A and B are shown apart, each in its own frame.
Chain A
Amino acid sequence: MSKSRKKVTKCSTNNIHCMDNVHTKSSDSTEFAIKASHLHKSFRLPTERAAGLKQAIFNWLKGVKGYTEQKVLDDVSFEIKKGEFVGIVGRNGSGKSTLLKILAQIYYPEQGSVEINGTLVPFIELGVGFNPELTGRENVYLNGALLGFSHKEMDAMYEEIVQFAELEPFMDAKLKNYSSGMQVRLAFSIAIRAKGDILILDEVLAVGDAAFQEKCNKYFSSLKGSKQTVILVTHSMDNVRQFCNRAILIEKGKIATEGNPETVAKAYEGLWD
């Protein structure tokens, strides 16, 4: 049992890293962008913490494990086609962020595999790597490097980023002196320059003022219009209805409903009633 399980894990690991080699695999007329099959993931939750060495040895002798396995994803499979705008919804703790992190290759699934066709740019959070002690300018280049842009490429984009963020006078000030709104504007301006075959967005809409929200909405509309493959995790059913071609509702680590955005949004809203 344990042997066969090990084999599956290994296979998934290989798949995950062969991002660019998957192109030939699909023979369907509509090419897939992401294929997730039978994903399992659980986390260990500590229950009984050993207060000291004595207790730890005691627990070990008695066979108390000190944690329980919490199943976060339980046999999740789906396929996302190229050009689709897919919304992933679910309540807090339903496992959607874990799923996203597995798709972004940050977490590894215990079982199952993810096949990715093309380059993938994940935005689990805006402004990853932003350092308060660096200036706005330095942070732009650092964040760019984390997204895979060289210094030269960032040079070409720099003016545009600063203009879009409306932060021209502040670029040589340290980030710690920015307001949180300014930080988000800067991060977002860099993010929308990142071009990948697949974009993964985790609740990036949840921040900023009304004007910023407006900018986000325009950005999403443009993504939808340009047939960009997007996976969006959100709590806003308005966004699901407005932008998504398809949606997936996750509940207790399983896919509860999948398909038409309207149906899924209704199902999500029905979770409380």
Chain B
Amino acid sequence: MVEVMGIPHILCRKNRILLGELVKTDFKLRYQGSVLGYLWAVLRPLLTFAILYIVFAKLLRMGNDIPHYPVYLLTGTVLWSFFTECTGQGIQAIVQRGDLLRKISFPKYIVVVSATATALINLAINLCVVVIFALINGVSLSWSWFVVPFLVLELYTLSLGISFLLGAINVKYRDVTSIWDVLIQALFYAIPIIYPLSMVLESSSFGLTAARIIMLNPIAQVIQDVRYNLITTETITAWEILPGSLQMVPILLVFLVLALAALFFRKRSKRFAEEV
């Protein structure tokens, strides 16, 4: 029986203990030495939101046509900061935990998963804040809220895939970190986080094509779907705008990235201890 770096490992007791302890450590160390501590997990996205809200909603008067626009904007920024935090930590994980890899033998993916877990915890806290804001803003409770965890799972799967893939390359070519930093800036503007998708649709004659291309991106699909299910059904989703044959593309992309990443990571991980 061959069980090399496979799924059975996650069920193994020793690996569960290790994963749990690494997550605890990462979470403890994250806000080490800061006065406000864990409060920063909530404060950071809120402050980012405040800036974006003042600039885009108040000064540039965007999103007037969308009900509950502030919460709509907050949802977008919270999910986006989860994605950036998750991939940022995940890509660095192998290099940062190099000392462990060089001295003991354990499945390497544990390190990546533990590094991204903190982002997942932060997201859970932030989504609570979003829900509170939504209720204050007059959004009514709905059964469709239960769809949100599955959408978060989709986004987390994508983040893990990217972390495994780029994290494995990052061991040998540290350029990846810098490239990803720039790429993520570009990605931010390619996703309707601060601007509503309706703005793209109305912009020019090929607005529909542009909006469709934007919505092929799984991150955009997830953010719009969460907004649709949590805040307002007046959100334009991928299901609405994409022609039938292309509707599954975002989800397929997620699985494609994860499959590629798993294969590549598994192949490369044997040499991590030597190269890191």
Chain A residues with a Cβ under 8 A of chain B: 13-14, 17-18, 21, 43, 101, 104-108, 122, 124-125, 128-129, 131, 133-134, 138, 141-142, 145-146, 148-151
Contact = CB atoms under 8 A, between A and B. Distances in A.
Nearest to B3: A17
A149 B99 contact: no
A107 B274 contact: yes
B98 to A, nearest CB: 12
A146 B17 CA distance: 8
A106 B105 contact: yes
Nearest to B14: A148
Given A108-B271, A141-B21, A146-B18, A134 B104 contact: no
A142 to B, nearest CB: 6
A122 B2 contact: no
Contact of A106 (B22, B25, B29, B273): B273
A82 B61 CA distance: 77
A104 B105 contact: yes
Contacts of A145: 17-18, 20-22
Interface-central residue, A13, A17, A108, A131, by most chain B CB under 10 Å: A17
Interface in B95-125: 99-106
B4 A150 contact: no
Contacts of A148: 14, 17-18
A124 B103 contact: yes
Nearest to B21: A145
B266 to A, nearest CB: 11
Nearest to A148: B14
A106 B22 CA distance: 19
Contacts of A18: 1-2
A247 B2 CA distance: 33
B179 to A, nearest CB: 15
Given A106-B101, A108-B270, A138-B28, 13 more contacts: A17-B2, A18-B1, A43-B274, A106-B102, A106-B105, A125-B103, A133-B29, A134-B28, A138-B25, A145-B17, A145-B22, A149-B17, A151-B17
B104 A142 contact: no
23 contacts: A17-B3, A18-B2, A106-B101, A106-B103, A108-B270, A122-B105, A124-B102, A124-B104, A128-B100, A128-B104, A129-B99, A138-B28, A141-B21, A142-B21, A145-B17, A146-B21, A146-B104, A146-B106, A148-B14, A148-B18, A150-B17, A151-B17, A151-B21
Interface of B: 1-4, 13-14, 17-18, 20-22, 25, 28-29, 32-33, 99-106, 270-271, 273-274
B25 A131 contact: yes
Contacts of B29: 131, 133-134
B4 A13 contact: yes
A21 B106 CA distance: 18
Given A14-B2, A17-B4, A101-B273, A106 B21 contact: no
A104 B2 contact: no
B104 A122 contact: yes
B113 to A, nearest CB: 15
A105 B28 contact: no
A56 to B, nearest CB: 12
B17 A107 contact: no
A252 B275 CA distance: 22
Contacts of A134: 25, 28-29
Contacts of B2: 14, 17-18
A17 B20 CA distance: 23
B104 A104 contact: yes
Given A17-B2, A134-B25, A129 B100 contact: yes
A131 B1 CA distance: 37
Contacts of B274: 43, 107
A128 B25 contact: no
Nearest to A124: B103
A109 to B, nearest CB: 10
Contacts of B21: 141-142, 145-146, 151
Contacts of B14: 148
A17 B18 CA distance: 18
B68 to A, nearest CB: 41
Contacts of A131: 25, 29
Contacts of A14: 2, 4
Nearest to A14: B2
Contacts of A138: 25, 28
Contacts of B32: 133
Contacts of B22: 145
A134 B21 CA distance: 13
